[in-house]
Copies of this chain bind each other. A is one copy, B any other.
Amino acid sequence: MAKGIGVQGSGGLTRQRDAVLRVIRGSGEHLTACEIYEQARQLLPSISYATVYNSLKFLTNEGLVHEVKFGKGASRYDRETERHDHAICNACGKLVDFDLDLSEELKRQAARRSHFKPESIQLTLRGLCPDCRPGK
Which of B87, B110, B119 makes the CB contact (< 8 A) with A116? B87
Q: A10 at interface (Cβ–Cβ under 8 A)?
A: no
Question: What residues of chain A have their CB less than 8 Å away from a CB belonging to chain B?
Answer: 69-70, 85, 87, 89-90, 96, 98-100, 106-107, 109-111, 113-130, 133
> 26 A-B contacts, Cβ less than 8 Å apart?
A69-B69, A85-B110, A85-B114, A87-B110, A87-B114, A87-B116, A89-B116, A96-B114, A99-B113, A111-B127, A115-B129, A116-B125, A116-B130, A117-B127, A118-B126, A119-B125, A119-B127, A119-B128, A120-B125, A120-B126, A121-B123, A121-B126, A122-B123, A122-B126, A123-B124, A124-B124
